[in-house]
Amino acid sequence: MTAGEIERLQKDYLMPTYAPGLALVEGAGAHVWDADGNEYLDFVSGIAVTNIGHCHPKMIRAVQDQVETLVHVSNLFYNAKQPVLAKKLAERSGLPGAKCFFSNSGAESNEGLIKLARLWGSEHGKYEIITMRQSFHGRTLATLTATGQEKVQTGFGPLPQGFVYATFNDIDSVEEAISSKTAAVLVEALQGEGGVIPADQEFLSDLRKLCDERGILLLCDEVQSGMGRTGKWFGFQNYDVIPDAFSLAKGLGNGVPIGAIVAGEKLADIFQPGRHATTFGGTPLACAAALSVIEVIEEEELLANTQMMGAYFAEGLCELAMKYKKWIAGVRGLGLLLGLVLDVPAAPLQKKLQEKGMLAIATAGNVLRLLPPLNVTQEEIDQALKLIGEACADLHDEMAEQSPNPCVCGEGE
């Protein structure tokens, strides 16, 4: 099927919730190919999903074996893969007495966290969840309300009650938002959709202390920053802070849909039969895929590779930022969740890169988000830096031609 045929079918039969620009049909490692045979260096990774790259052999074997054995039974029956996966996540979480609940997506996992916090606080009339402005927690009614961005909420009112917004990296703002109804604070260790903004060490440490002092829960959204993306299993581990519970999805299944809640001892047994459920969450197939992801990360030492390649990539991006400092503000992020922060819109740079054979994402208006797989090589990073450099040079020349003065960002030397 040609790209044109795929596009026509999409327009005729799919709701226009996205505006895709390519028809991708094949992938291997950090590379993908479109329906016309063009190759791209994939530094989107399905938006931090394919953390071990496309079509990893170990994952292929695990999924094939499971499809031939048992795909689904429902959670009315024991599932041999699910408790094994739960044990591995609990052991790596650092949460004392941790237990898991499996879902199908990040939004479901965050919805479950919200329900868990409300159920925990219901005896004392606590139901409010404090979230951060510019956060992103999902697209269900509850999670888009938890998301501190008006643009994802517009048109969906009336929104559910019980959400209060504070300012990220501002502990005073959080403290001011706490009331007698507050059950929990939900926070990302790194705001991906909000512009690749890492939490400050002092902020997360103070937030843990504040939650303990006020008798409320600290919940972490690890949907994008989890499963090794920041160089640790989970983003909060960069800060030596232990939440009461956290959510997972995206990289957990490397493309096979699966999400999870990992809850410490305070919350591990709050959900009892009949209080929360899922038909598809944690199927044998999804759990087999997730188990293969954990095996690959450990066997190939991808946490170390993420730290090393992340530092190497960030250094190269910083050099580009210095070269084009009139319109590139800098670089931020953790591990292999990096953002090139611009003083101009990022969409033109994203488009330039795609034309040159590299995929990245413009986010928060002026940030180019870069998400290579965790097993990316130095050669692939070098290739990415070369392509970004060429795209920046082209864009710089175009902006210089359009500007009446030599300073393209409107600031003097």
Long-range contacts of 304-308 (CB under 8 A, 24+ apart): 305/374, 305/375, 305/376, 306/228, 306/229, 306/230, 306/231, 306/335, 306/336, 306/374, 307/231, 307/335
* Ligand-binding site membership of 39 (annotated): no
Known binder of ligand: residue 279? yes
> Is 63 known as a binding-site position?
no
350 marked among binding-site residues: no
Spell out the residues 6+ positions from residue 73 whose beta carbon is closer than 8 angstroms to its own: 79, 283, 284
Amino acid identity for residue 386 in this structure? K
Q: Is 107 annotated as ligand-binding?
A: yes
Q: Taking a C-beta distance cutoff of 8 angstroms, is the pair 43, 244 a contact? A: no
Q: In whole angstroms, what is the distance from residue 361 CA to residue 49 CA?
A: 14
CB 127 within 8 A of CB 181: yes
Residues in the chain: 413
| Ligand-binding site membership of 223 (annotated) | yes
CA distances from 327 to 56, 82, 221, 251, 285 (A): 38, 49, 32, 32, 47
Query: Is 256 annotated in some ligand binding site?
Result: no
139 is in an annotated binding site: yes
Two structure tokens written together for 140? 């269900």
**Token pair 């919730």 is at which residue?**
17
Structure tokens at 116: 């868990």
Cα–Cα distance for residue pair 233/402, rounded to 1 Å = 46
Phi and psi at residue 237, in whole multiples of 5°?
A: -70, -15
Instruction: Supply the DSSP symbol for 199.
Output: P
Tokens of 67: 């499809």
Please tell me whether 344 is known to bind a ligand. no
The binding site comprises 106-107, 136, 139, 221-224, 278-279
The binding site for N(2)-acetyl-L-ornithine comprises 139, 278
The binding site for pyridoxal 5'-phosphate comprises 106-107, 136, 221-224, 279
